[in-house]
Structure 1
Amino acid sequence: MAALSLLFYWVFAYDLIRTDYIKLVTLYTALFFFFYKLIHLLKHDVKTLSYLAFIFRAVFILAIPNLSQDFYRFIWDGRMILEGYNPYLYTVESFIDQGHSPVTQTQELYNGMGALNASHFTNYPPINQLCFVIAGVFAGKSILGSVMIMRLLIIAADFGTLHFGKKLLEKLGLPTYIIFWYLLNPFIIIELTGNLHFEGVMICFLIWSLYWLYIGKWPWAAVVLALSVSVKLIPLIFLPLFFQWFIKNRSDKQSQKKSDGLPHHNVNGIQNRASKGFMKLIGFYAIIGFTSLLLFSPFYSSEFINNYSKTVALWFQNFEFNASLYYIAREIGYLFRGYNEIEVIGKIIPIVVILFVLSITFFRKNKTPVQLITAMLIVLSFYYFTATTIHPWYIATLLILSVFTKYKFPLIWSFVIILSYLAYINLNKADKSENLWIIALEYIFVYGVFFWEVFKKKSSQKGSFNKTINSVF
């Protein structure tokens, strides 16, 4: 099975065209089956699973990504910085229109990324840009060379996720082999290593931060969490959830005794603990904010703020892809207005998400590590369920969080997400819109498992962690 997996990954990397949908789905399904069986058979041999995870990644070293074209923009941004330009202040199209070529292979990069990508300002945070710069330093005149450097950085981040993920699982008393539901998953290998999406680097910093938070080194946890934010902005959604970790976690047990006639000096002790927890929380947020601002400072200007905010807003009010609840809301909106529903719904979604995050922050127990990580999983899932755009690689963060919880619907989603590549099966026909039947099929599986886990498994959650995992299959 390992040998067949190696062969299928090679075919996926070097002999697959994105529009060959039958081959795409067949290869992915076979790889997913082998992935599940290998973990089942080798769960007591973590060393072999580790070797396999990185051997499979090594297959892609010389491959140009075939399911995504974002990497062309990555290369462009890195070379722009090396030429002394601020990538947040210029679109690629502006240079093409002027006939000016600030970087080598301008036309190849422009053709590769496409007109849509080239017309927008970059939205990749500074640590992500640093990765692009490293690729430019070592391979400034070769697209394949730049791809190889970026791929090595993503693989190195996976080593970090393996290291800190295993240590965190050990601290939580969970079997360490379950980290391979993430690391050996074909979805992760193909989307991150293969297609060069830097969620893997963000995830490495996120898990590192959670580990340091668990062992009490919260200032360092804050610094590393800021690094995670500076790769992808998505960890910002988790910040309110740390409230109970720092404050309620320290005072709830003692305050519970207050009704039993707690002496006055002990009441003062509870208040002091809560006060110290609050100060640590403020310090935690301050370190994250300061570190993030420090990382963004080399690119700061009034134009940067304007351009960056506009680019981020595009994901709420301009782009539509592989959505679920949004598509339902859009169809309902068509009955009343009949046009441009994203402009209306896109403004409502951030408000709804913020209210949901605050409700989870204050009305759900998030005091233990598993409770905190579960809250992160719930919050991010809600955001993705309501979002207007869900690219396949977004699911990577849900998948790593699920490793530390009893929920496994992200594992199912990592399998059926391949259907999103079939959404534009009509691309060469007159109707170029998404095939909503395919999108519906994807989310039937996702929501089916999600609601089953939330509502149907409560009575059986007293079983072992391994039974919880196996029951999904």
Structure 2
Amino acid sequence: MIAIWKYHKIPVLFFIASCILYLWFAYSITRLQTAQLLILYVALFVFAYKIIKSSGFNFRLLVVFSIIFRLLFLFAIPNLSQDFYRFIWDGQMILSGLNPYLSTPDFQMEQGILTNFPNQVELHNGMGSLSASHFTNYPPINQLCFVLANLFPGTSILSSVIGLRLIIIAADIGTLYFGKKLLERLKLPSNKIFWYILNPFIIIELTGNLHFEGVMIFFLVWSLYVLHIGKWKWAAVIMAFSISVKLIPLMLLPLFFGYFKKDVKFKEPDAINGELSKSKVTVNNLLKLIVFYAITGLTSILLFIPFFSMEFITNYTKTVGLWFGNFEFNASIYYLTRSIGYAITGYNEIAIIGKILPIISILIILGFTFFKQNDSIAKLISSMLLVLTLYLFLSTTVHPWYIATLVFFSVFTNYKYPLVWSIVIVLSYLAYSNTENSENLWIIALEYTIVFSVFIWEVFSKKSQLSKLASN
């Protein structure tokens, strides 16, 4: 301990200051206290930067800091999100022998109070009317996490919160482990992982607010690492686990086409008919791609089977579809197109725009699949980052925790705009500063002006650098 203080005074001082701010953030701040929220958030980013830089990227020291920061939140009830009430509710539904996909909380409350369902009324009231009136959209591995959290000793809401938090902290430690190993495999500095692990946004949104993007990212990086070392069948299984936490990785699956066809070669012209014939490597790799997709799909289906019914399919697809056609929050391009729709028709055209924007997203994914060389893990991650970014730019709803995956992918690239976005996205919480929870579009415009500016500058500056290298 004395040696740590002797050689690392500055990072330790910033660590202590950060601990105080995190405790303040976890146990005192509400999302209505916007001024304090913004000041603490920005201060934590400054301190995190100072800790990383002044420590000389001392790996062990930073690992200890990152774990302690998370443990500070252990006994805190989330103060910026109420989603955790629904997580606990779904877990209790399963433990009560009920399928959480077949009834809404509102319907369940109409059936009466269950004796083996702790805190049923409090959970229903806490999750809010929007969540309570809709079917759950959380995939099966996520549901398993909810069940495990409710098995944590105790019957209070806090005991379940502690269970949820321990799972997310364990996932972050797993991400640290496999993220470091993958960076080393890619011959990148392993300490880059701390731009994710020590990022205050990640700590607050995942550990603090209990969002399971962290668990999804853990399985995702594990899958990419296993794929990189050649165990592609296991990579497919683990990828299915990632999808079964959050569905987002589904949209990234087409990008693997370029990775599996990376060894495509052609033989010399056939001596008899002069035609080119594909090598066996091409056929083998395409077969691998098909098997990879098959294993991922089959594993995902098997994970859903315990909940399967025709009613489940109807409820689940309907709920997922609502995110494109009904909900809107912190959007960018969608808000611009919505304003144009208002000017032309006088109405909110989300029903139409919400169908067009996903089609554009699909075209973007296909473009990156067939016209981008994703022939290495590094290039694959870069494409994943850009595809997911453009998808979020086109989305009708962008809650802060949605960009956690972008922050993670940025660690493996030279792009910094996800880190900038992780700072300015706190502005979206200003929508909760009024009783109507209405957004100030000028604030949203400020957020996206900053993000778009950095994004465009980075993307086009890198293209110009590559063209210069090509010309030389």
Specify whether residues 404 and 95 from structure 1 end up closer, same or farther in structure 2 by C-alpha distance, changes over 3 A only.
Answer: same
Specify whether residues 360 and 457 from structure 1 end up closer, same or farther in structure 2 by C-alpha distance, changes over 3 A only.
Answer: closer
Equivalent in the alignment of 2:449: 444
C-alpha contact 1:423 1:438 (8 A) present in aligned 2: no
Q: CA deviation at 1:454?
A: 0.9
One-letter identity of the residue aligned with 1:177 = N
- TM-score in terms of structure 2 length: 0.93
Decide which of 136, 141, 154 is 1:127's aligned counterpart. 141
- Provide the identity percentage: 59
Decide which of 212, 228, 232 is 2:242's aligned counterpart. 228
Q: Deviations over 1:74-117 (max 9, x none)?
A: 00100110110000001000122233336121111011101111
SS at match of 2:100: coil
Equivalent in the alignment of 1:322: 330
Q: CA deviation at 1:39?
A: 1.2
* Structure 2 residue 23 is the aligned partner of structure 1 residue 10: yes
Specify whether residues 106 and 379 from structure 1 end up closer, same or farther in structure 2 by C-alpha distance, changes over 3 A only.
Answer: same
Partners of 2:20 and 2:302 in 1: CA distance: 45
Partners of 2:274 and 2:188 in 1: CA distance: 36
Equivalent in the alignment of 1:469: none
Specify whether residues 140 and 278 from structure 1 end up closer, same or farther in structure 2 by C-alpha distance, changes over 3 A only.
Answer: farther
C-alpha contact 1:126 1:296 (8 A) present in aligned 2: yes
One-letter identity of the residue aligned with 2:435 = N
Q: Deviations over 1:8-61 (max 9, x none)?
A: 000000111210000000000000001111111224311111110001001000
Partners of 1:99 and 1:386 in 2: CA distance: 41
Equivalent in the alignment of 2:346: 338
* Number of equivalenced pairs: 454
Equivalent in the alignment of 1:40: 53
Q: CA deviation at 1:457?
A: 4.1
* Structure 2 residue 384 is the aligned partner of structure 1 residue 376: yes
Matches within 5 A, 1:176-325: 176-247=190-261, 249-251=262-264, 254-255=265-266, 270-325=278-333
One-letter identity of the residue aligned with 2:29 = L
Partners of 2:196 and 2:427 in 1: CA distance: 19
Partners of 1:130 and 1:70 in 2: CA distance: 16
Specify whether residues 153 and 22 from structure 1 end up closer, same or farther in structure 2 by C-alpha distance, changes over 3 A only.
Answer: same
Q: CA deviation at 1:369?
A: 1.2
One-letter identity of the residue aligned with 2:380 = L
Structure 1 unmatched runs, 5+: 464-473
One-letter identity of the residue aligned with 2:370 = F
One-letter identity of the residue aligned with 2:442 = W
Specify whether residues 62 and 355 from structure 1 end up closer, same or farther in structure 2 by C-alpha distance, changes over 3 A only.
Answer: same
Equivalent in the alignment of 2:435: 428
* Structure 2 residue 393 is the aligned partner of structure 1 residue 385: yes
Specify whether residues 264 and 122 from structure 1 end up closer, same or farther in structure 2 by C-alpha distance, changes over 3 A only.
Answer: farther
Decide which of 58, 66, 89 is 1:53's aligned counterpart. 66
Q: CA deviation at 1:335?
A: 1.7
One-letter identity of the residue aligned with 2:86 = R
SS at match of 2:279: helix
Matches within 5 A, 1:447-466: 447-459=452-464
* Structure 2 residue 39 is the aligned partner of structure 1 residue 26: yes
Specify whether residues 451 and 264 from structure 1 end up closer, same or farther in structure 2 by C-alpha distance, changes over 3 A only.
Answer: farther
Q: CA deviation at 1:262?
A: 8.6
SS at match of 2:151: helix
Specify whether residues 276 and 336 from structure 1 end up closer, same or farther in structure 2 by C-alpha distance, changes over 3 A only.
Answer: same
**Greater CA drift, 157-166 or 134-143:** 134-143
Equivalent in the alignment of 2:96: 83
C-alpha contact 1:330 1:341 (8 A) present in aligned 2: yes
Partners of 2:125 and 2:229 in 1: CA distance: 48
Partners of 1:263 and 1:111 in 2: CA distance: 76
C-alpha contact 1:423 1:436 (8 A) present in aligned 2: no
Q: CA deviation at 1:433?
A: 2.7
Equivalent in the alignment of 1:417: 425
Equivalent in the alignment of 1:93: 106
Equivalent in the alignment of 2:77: 64
Partners of 2:432 and 2:281 in 1: CA distance: 56
Partners of 1:345 and 1:87 in 2: CA distance: 31
C-alpha contact 1:423 1:439 (8 A) present in aligned 2: no
One-letter identity of the residue aligned with 1:31 = L
Structure 2 unmatched runs, 5+: 1-13
C-alpha contact 1:43 1:177 (8 A) present in aligned 2: no
Specify whether residues 27 and 250 from structure 1 end up closer, same or farther in structure 2 by C-alpha distance, changes over 3 A only.
Answer: same
Q: CA deviation at 1:423?
A: 2.6
Q: CA deviation at 1:337?
A: 1.7
Partners of 2:173 and 2:339 in 1: CA distance: 44
Q: CA deviation at 1:364?
A: 1.0
C-alpha contact 1:360 1:375 (8 A) present in aligned 2: yes
Equivalent in the alignment of 2:11: none
One-letter identity of the residue aligned with 1:41 = S
Specify whether residues 396 and 99 from structure 1 end up closer, same or farther in structure 2 by C-alpha distance, changes over 3 A only.
Answer: same
C-alpha contact 2:83 2:127 (8 A) present in aligned 1: yes
One-letter identity of the residue aligned with 1:357 = I
Partners of 2:45 and 2:270 in 1: CA distance: 57
Q: CA deviation at 1:201?
A: 0.3
One-letter identity of the residue aligned with 1:128 = N
Partners of 1:203 and 1:161 in 2: CA distance: 7
